[in-house]
Structures are given as structure tokens and as C-alpha cells.
Amino acid sequence: GHRDQSLPPPHAADNRMIQNHFNNKLNCYNIELINHIQDNQKIIKKYDDFFEVIKPAVLLQIISGSYSVITLVFLTLLTYFMGFPIISGPVLKSFFGFLLITSQLLMYC
């Protein structure tokens, strides 16, 4: 490009100062990035440790939730075939229980 002739030519010291400033800023960004990566690694490690402890409870909840869903479907069909209308107390209780347990299973999985 075009250089303004009224400005003095840049000196080597100015260039070194600009380069040092750029390198210092880049070094700060690199250190900050490394710190963020290390923090994320610590979070993932704690997350893994948490799930090692909680995994048996989650599996038990999934098993019991699945069993409950199957039972609720069976009971809903049974009450319908016994003559209860679809919009009755027992059927609605079963339906909302089914929704609750299904939403819990979806959150766990």
C-alpha cells in the first residue's frame, strides 16, 4: 500500500517492541487456553468419578422404571378391558404414572 511520507520510517526497535507485545499477548492467550483445557479435564474427571459411584443406583432405577412402565401398561389395559372408561380415575392414574416414569427414564438415558 501507500505510505504517508510525513511519517518517519519505522525503526527496528519499534518493530521489536511491536513483535514482543504481540508475542506476550499470544503467550497470555496460550496460557489461558491451557488453563481452560485443564479445568475442563478436571470437570470431566469429577463427572466420571461421580458416575462410577452413581452407576449402580442409575441402573437399578432404569430396571425398576422399565418394570413399572410394563406393569402400568398392563394395568391400564386390564382396567380398560374390565369396563372402566378411558377417562376414569384408575386409568388416568396409571397413565400419568406411566408418563412420570417414562420421563424419568428418558432423563437418565
SS in 3 state form for 49-93?
Answer: HHHHHHHHHHHHHHHHHHHHHHHHHHHHHHHHHCCCCCCCHHHHH
**82 has pLDDT over 70:** yes
Say if pTM beats, i.e. exceeds, 0.85.
no
* pLDDT in the model for residue 40: 96
Report yes or no: 76 and 98 within 8 Å, Cβ to Cβ: yes
Query: CA nearest 108: which of 49, 40, 45, 60?
Result: 60
- Taking the C-alpha atoms of residue 76 and residue 79, their distance in angstroms, rounded to an integer, is 5
Between 11 and 61, whose confidence is greater?
61
Report yes or no: 104 and 61 within 8 Å, Cβ to Cβ: yes
**60 has pLDDT over 70:** yes
* pLDDT in the model for residue 21: 73
**8 has pLDDT over 80:** no
- Taking the C-alpha atoms of residue 54 and residue 61, their distance in angstroms, rounded to an integer, is 11
pLDDT digits (tens, 9 = 90+) for 25-58: 888 888 999 999 999 999 999 999 988 888 888 8
- Taking the C-alpha atoms of residue 102 and residue 98, their distance in angstroms, rounded to an integer, is 6
Q: How confident is the model at residue 13 (pLDDT cuts 50, 70, 90)?
A: low
* pLDDT in the model for residue 101: 77
- Read off the pLDDT of each residue in 68-86 and give the average, rounded to a whole number: 79
- Taking the C-alpha atoms of residue 85 and residue 79, their distance in angstroms, rounded to an integer, is 8
